Amino acid sequence: MIPVVIGTTFIIFTMVWALPGDPFAGKCGDRPCPPSYIAEQTARYNLDDPLLLQYVKYMGNLLTGDLGETFRGTQVIDELAVALPATLKLTTLAIVIEIIIGIGAGVLAGLRRGSFMDNLVLLSTLVVISIPIFVIGYLAQFILGVQLGWFPPTVGRGAPWSDLILPALVLASVSLAYVARLTRTQLAENMRADYVRTATAKGLPRRQVVRHALRNSLIPVVTFIGIDFGALMGGAVVTEGIFNIKGVGGLVFGSIATREGATVTAAITFIVIVFLLVNLLVDLLYGVLDPRIRYE
């Protein structure tokens, strides 16, 4: 995990701070920034140093909890403290929806292969996968939020859980479809395995047989969900924009547009760390799902 954090932060830092052009363009309105301001900011962000030395200094400050300042003089950690809760709540709710609906639909389809339910799951998930996420978002907002009034069309201040249900459904829609299809394929394949036929021949109840097959089928599904957690956190900018959520996605997008390198680097670093921790949890879950797996 440590080499991955170092490698990803270095790549992000390099991409942000090595961009060509004047980093102070537009920071003082329509007028050019005065030389005193440019000299002060250049010294504060070590812009005169080589890029590698800039990165070493940044990581040294990061290890002490100092995420830096924006060009406006705002602490980056304060901006993240405002944006992170909304994105974490949105991503967590999306993952819960993805697990409940996706795995549930996949199990129903996998146990009834070739039936109406199986065809319905395959067709509906294919339709969802084929539609861009921003189209799903605007349609859901207009139909379910404006026309039917089932959900708030936009998220209120503080991002309450009740307001995040519709955005979470939109954010999880494509991943949910992949989870359903993956669960269906794995379960249908395991139900034809030798150990399932042996368990059935020994007279085990069908519910117990299905439980054994499902545990083995969930290993690739859990892997996908673990990877998807980081993808949802980093890719929520479209959903956050549609539903007016003040989260990390919008913060990163706005910071890229204004070339606030410290904010972009800090936000991506946090997403990388969360992603690595979730994947560590997924690795530990392998041994729980499949007793044959042992870690030494």
Whether residue 106 is predicted with pLDDT greater than 60 in this model: the reply is: yes
Mean pLDDT of 58-75: 76
Whether residue 295 is predicted with pLDDT greater than 60 in this model: the reply is: no
CB 210 within 8 A of CB 134: no
Read off the pLDDT of residues 175-184 as tens digits, 9 standing for 90 and up.
889 999 998 8
User: Distance between CA 22 and CA 41 in Å, rounded?
Assistant: 12
Highest-confidence segment of 8-22, 179-193, 248-262: 179-193
What pLDDT, on the 0 to 100 scale, is given for residue 151?
A: 87
What pLDDT, on the 0 to 100 scale, is given for residue 250?
A: 77
What pLDDT, on the 0 to 100 scale, is given for residue 33?
A: 73
Read off the pLDDT of residues 143-161 as tens digits, 9 standing for 90 and up.
888 888 888 888 877 778 8
Mean pLDDT of 11-18: 79
Could you give all domains of the chain from N- to C-terminal order, each with its CATH number?
2-63 (no CATH), 83-289 (1.10.3720.10)
Q: How confident is the prediction for the chain on average, in pLDDT?
A: 81
What pLDDT, on the 0 to 100 scale, is given for residue 249?
A: 78
